[in-house]
Each structure stands twice: as structure tokens, then as C-alpha cells.
Amino acid sequence: MNKDASWISEWIEAHADTFDDANDSIWGYAELAFHEYRSAELIMKLLKEQGFELRKGLAGIPTCFSAAASFGTGKPVVGILGEYDALSGLSQEAGIPEKRPVSGQQSGHGCGHCSLGVGSMAAAMAIKAYLEETGRDGTVIYFGCPAEEGAGSKQFMARAGAFDGVDFVYTWHPSWKNEIEASHSNAIIGANFTFEGLSSHAGATPYLGRSALDSCELMSVGCNYLREHVIPEARIHYAYIDAGGTAPNVVQDHAVVRYEVRAPYVAQAKEIFERVKEVARGASIMAGTSYDCELAMAFTEYVPNDALASVMDECLSEIGAPAWTDEDMALARSFLDSYNDEVKKEIRKEVSELYGEDRVEEILAAPLDREVHPYSPAKIKLQAGSTDVGDVAACVPTLNLLMATCCVGNVGHTWQMTAQACSPLAHKGMLAAAKVIALSGIRTMERPEVVDRAWEELRKRNGGAYVCPLPDSVEPPLETY
């Protein structure tokens, strides 16, 4: 291990208790999108104690902030992204491999954002400490990004110029494998469709009513037919937000349904979304209602930056996988065993694809990733999900790391992930991720030619400028999404 890698690793390990405690505290807060007040305050407190300068309320979002530390000329500037929002309905006791919700708590960190936020914070602190120790020029900025699981915040931050002047950005996400994420995520657009009708007695005078709920139902029918006539990679999702009441004998005079459209590129998502809006218009005409479309969220697609990947791949190999113990392996096996047969079948398939068919039994017997999987642009493939990291990557060269914090094949957004996010598995993976991000940030700051290549790559993709997928009139939906 080179001198800078050793220094970074030792600094992070020396502060490991602070980071583990912060992870567990935020895990316990389990705050939902746009309401991560205690989580954001804890991270800001720790960063302030380390000498970072805070800017709160970025992009009009109370739980959104940045924390910067600058030395010498202040250039180059590295940004580190952190998240800390939880998910509804995933309450679960820590480290327990059986479904056991926490009494009185409804939400949980089923995507591991407690570890994401703290691990990124640890990386930012380590970079600051290294710049102080070596006397080198540069700036490190931690960006506290709320609501990734909701309407997102990074697109609002990018539109407000929060990332202006940043030379490159690194982030990470808890996973079951150790690699640079070779995924092209889908763009997404989402809106609430509100239908307004007329109430009436559904038994005596239904002909005097105009059902907003009927409009929602007709919209579902129209979108079901639309699905056949869009590109196969696209997805159209919906959920009822307000069904207009619970009395069947009252014609519903209002109803709200939320639709989200995913597609590989934001231009495709926008085109399909306009067709969904036309379906809504038709549904309102058929039922004799009026409607309003409130656009609330949109993410640009994420594509990894190959120039940055050349540095992070080197750093990941140097730091290596988390150092798992026999106790860690036993805990991971218990979580793997908690899945049903259908999920286990899918896990076997994923393990076979990553390690090879001849190693499946070996890996499942010790189900924590002990290897580092090299990055290759040829391996980039479209994934079904979406992330607002795509909007950062569309305005600044950005790269996402995956680091194992849970059992092999673990399914995200589950109680199993919530339980593992507050366990030794998460602690070790989080600290390893912090080391890789910090080392990658320092190495990239020392290689201006890499930063130049990263920007050249980005400009080819975005045409030379970031365009937010949301118009300026759309504000963060702090209470409505």
C-alpha cells in the first residue's frame, strides 16, 4: 500500500468509533425524504467540529447543505455526495436475521443511506486532514443531499448552481459487491394528477355526479394500452395518493394519482410523459371532470465517467475489500437464509454471473464479497432504477462506488437491508468505502490530466451544458411527494 493510502486508512481507522456511532444514530432516526432534520444536524455538527464551513438550506430545502474546507489556492475542488434518508414501512431491529419491526417505528434504512451519508462524510474529513498534513492546495466539499428515495434533491441543487466550480465528484452506495458501479440508470419523470368532479348520492342521483375516481381508473386503462406502444426499456408506474374518500355511496369529487415514467434517456422519458398527460386529458373528458398535472420530480440518467473510473479502480484495488471475520460470515449466512426460495434462486443466478458457475457453492457458503471486481466500460449496462446522482453527473464529472455492507445477493429496500445497515457488516463496508473515496479524491487532485479527460467526456455527453429536466417553476415538493 502506498504512503498516501496508508495515511488515509490509518486516519479513518483512528476515527472509526465516531463514524460507527454516527451511522447507528442516523439508522435509529430513520427519517423520511425532506424530513431528515436530526440526521442532517448530526452530520453538520461533526463536520463543523472538524473545521468545515457550512452552508445550510441549499436549493430551498431545509435538510440540504454543503460543508467546505479550503487550502492554499483552493484548487482543485473535489465534491463528495452524502445521503441520509430512510424508507417508509421498513422498520426492523438492528442485526436480527428475522423480520422484527421496532416497536413504535414505521420507517427504516432499507437502502443503507445511513452508511452512505456517514461514509462520505468520513472521506471528506480524511481528505481535509490529508491536505492539512501535506500543505497541498485544494478544496473538499461534502454535499448533504436529502430525499433520494423521494422526489430527489440533487436536480434542484444542480439547477441552483450548488455544484458550480466543482472539478469532479465522488460518491458511493452500500451494496453486496465491491466495484465501481458499471450501470446506466434510467431517467425518470413523476407528477401528481389531480382530478376534480362533482359529488352526489351514488344511489339516488348518480347522474348528477362526475366521478374523479372514474377519471383515475380510466387513466389506468389508457396507460395500460400505452405500455404496448413505447420503447421496451420504458416503465410507467402509478399509485393512488387520494382515492376521494371511503364512502362508496358518494360520487368522489376529487382524486389524485401519481405517475412516474422511466426511460434510458431523459429526452425519451419526457416524450413518453407527454403521452401520459394526453391520456389524463382523455380520461377527464370521458368522465366529465377537470384535471391538473403537478410535475414534482425528474432525474437525468446516470452514466459512469470512465476517466474518473481509471483512478478509483486503482484505489479500490489498493484498499481492497472489507476485512471480514468468521463472525461476519456467520451473520451474513443467517441473512441469506432468511430469503425465500424464489429470491435465493435469483441470488444463485447473480452469483453465477459474477463469480462463475463453478464457484457458486463456495460463495454462498461464505456470503460476503472478499474480492474487488475490476471496472470495464464494456460491462456498462442499463439498469431499471433511477437516481438523482444522474443530475450531478450531467453537470460535473461524477463516479459512484459500490462497497459491500451486506450479504451476497442482498435485495435492497427490504427489512434484511435495514437490519444489516446497523451491524458490523455495514460498519466495515462503510469504512472501506470512505478510504477508497478519500484516496480517489486525493489521487485525482494530483492528476489534472485525468480531470481534463473527465470534463471532455462529460461535454460530449451533455452537449457542453447541463439542462435541468425540471422547469424553474417547479420547486422542491417538501410536503407533497
Strand partners, 291: 195
The stretches of 263-388 forming alpha helices (DSSP H) are 266-287, 306-319, 326-337, 341-355, 360-365
Question: Which strands, in side-by-side order, build the sheet including 398-404?
Answer: 53-56, 65-71, 138-144, 77-82, 168-175, 398-404, 179-180
Is the separation of the CB atoms in 117 and 180 below 8 Å? no
**Four-CA torsion 219, 221, 223, 226, nearest 10 degrees:** -140
Burial degree of 247 (CB within 10 A; 0-12, 13-18, 19+): exposed
Q: Is the pTM of this model over 0.85?
A: yes
pLDDT attached to residue 19: 98
Grid coordinates representing 49?
467540529
Q: Sign of torsion, CA 407 401 312 351?
A: positive
* Strand duo 187-196 + 179-180: pairing: unpaired
The pLDDT tens digits of the residues spanning 402-450 come to: 999 999 999 999 999 999 999 999 999 999 999 999 999 999 999 999 9
Spatial distance between the Cα atoms of 212 and 196, rounded to a whole number of angstroms: 5
Spatial distance between the Cα atoms of 199 and 208, rounded to a whole number of angstroms: 8
Spatial distance between the Cα atoms of 328 and 69, rounded to a whole number of angstroms: 36
**Four-CA torsion 394, 82, 149, 320, nearest 10 degrees:** 90
| Amino acid identity, position 464 | G
pLDDT attached to residue 481: 78
Spatial distance between the Cα atoms of 29 and 31, rounded to a whole number of angstroms: 6
Spatial distance between the Cα atoms of 58 and 42, rounded to a whole number of angstroms: 17
pLDDT attached to residue 411: 97
Walk me through the domains of the chain, giving residue ranges and CATH numbers: 3-185+301-462 (3.40.630.10), 187-298 (3.30.70.360)
Cell 435509529 sits at which residue?
A: 28
Beta-carbon count within 10 A of 473 CB: 6
Cis bond upstream, residue 471 (ω within 30):
no
Spatial distance between the Cα atoms of 203 and 163, rounded to a whole number of angstroms: 58
Cell 369529487 sits at which residue?
A: 253
Counting as low any pLDDT under 70, the low residues of the chain are none
Q: What is the 3-state secondary structure (H, E, C) of 165-219?
A: CCCEEEEEEEECCCEECCEECCEEEEEEEEEECECCECCCCHHHCECHHHHHHHH
Is the separation of the CB atoms in 392 and 80 below 8 Å? no
Spatial distance between the Cα atoms of 373 and 355, rounded to a whole number of angstroms: 10
Spatial distance between the Cα atoms of 455 and 458, rounded to a whole number of angstroms: 5
The pLDDT tens digits of the residues spanning 156-172 come to: 999 999 999 999 999 99
* Cα–Cα–Cα angle for 318, 365, 342, rounded to 5 degrees: 110
Spatial distance between the Cα atoms of 406 and 110, rounded to a whole number of angstroms: 11
Burial degree of 464 (CB within 10 A; 0-12, 13-18, 19+): exposed
End-to-end Cα separation, the chain, in angstroms: 46
